[in-house]
Amino acid sequence: MNPILTSICLGLTAAAANVFGGTIIVQRHWERRYLRYFVALGAGFMLATALVEMIPESLELRGRPAALLVLLGYLIIHFFEHTVTPHFHFGEETHPDEFKHSRTSYSVLFGLIIHTFFDGIAIASGFLVSNWLGWLIFLAVFLHKVPEGFTVSSVMLASGLSRGTAWASSVVLGGSTVAGVLTMALFRHHVGAGLPLSAGVTIYVAASDLVPEVNKEPAMKMALLVFVGAAVFFLLDHFFHAL
């Protein structure tokens, strides 16, 4: 299948996972504890994908300057998620005092729009390089998409906005993911920039958004799941990479 078409289909799937995450928080009675496992698995899988596949591929595409773009991708997300945003962490928002001003919640939404845009850039960049890389990146993105939609909607609710607005914010993140895919499709000749930038974003999301959530859990089981996430990457590599 054409790499652009595949990216669009999988971008829409990832977007649907964002919306599903938003739906979980709006439907108060829905079970949500299992989302923690996706955060831990996703962290390990994303780190392995970014460090073992995305960065080496980027260096092959662009040479040493790719490393600078990886750093830039990392810093872009640090800026929008944790510098201009007064309060943000992954997972359910349980600090309503931090959201006395609704602009705080909109700053979180904006930070996540930038992040999810690069989720889309990552998926399309992957498929522009190879089917194998595309599927790996899609899986890395997909694993944290439900918790991501969940996070944004819970932030909106904590700041006193309506459940409709909370749900709509998860739709916006889905839309931004698809916009990232379409942007990369349009600028497909710049995959040598898209891949390293989104590798930096992936490392940031894994190490600075997801791992801190894992470390909040006192049980060792959650911390161990990060290793399982990385192990899944190597299992896939072993069994499917040659195909």
Q: DSSP states of 52-118 as a string?
A: IIIHHHHHHHH-THHHHHHHHHHHHHHHHHHTS-SS--SS----GGGGSSHHHHHHHHHHHHHHHHH
Kindly identify the residues of this chain, within the stretch 132-191, that bind Zn ion according to CB under 5 A. 148
The least distance separating Zn ion from the CB of residue 152, rounded to whole angstroms, comes to: 10
Angle at the Cα of 203 from the Cα atoms of 200 and 208, rounded to 5 degrees: 120
Kindly state whether residue 209 participates in binding Zn ion, applying the rule CB under 5 A.
no
**Which span sits near Zn ion by CB under 5 A: 20-28, 47-55, 92-100, 184-192?**
92-100
Kindly state whether residue 216 participates in binding Zn ion, applying the rule CB under 5 A.
no
Q: What is the CA radius of gyration of the chain?
A: 17
Helices 131-158 and 191-204, axial angle in degrees (round to 10): 50
Kindly state whether residue 95 participates in binding Zn ion, applying the rule CB under 5 A.
yes
Residue 148, H or E segment: helix 131-158
Nearer to Zn ion, 91 or 242 (CB): 91
Torsion sign over Cα 19, 24, 28, 29:
positive
Nearer to Zn ion, 53 or 93 (CB): 93
Nearer to Zn ion, 133 or 173 (CB): 173
Nearer to Zn ion, 6 or 18 (CB): 18
The least distance separating Zn ion from the CB of residue 89, rounded to whole angstroms, comes to: 5
Residue selected from 53, 57, 92, 119 as contacting Zn ion according to rule CB under 5 A: 119
Instruction: Using CB under 5 A, list all residues that contact Zn ion.
Output: 93, 95, 119, 148
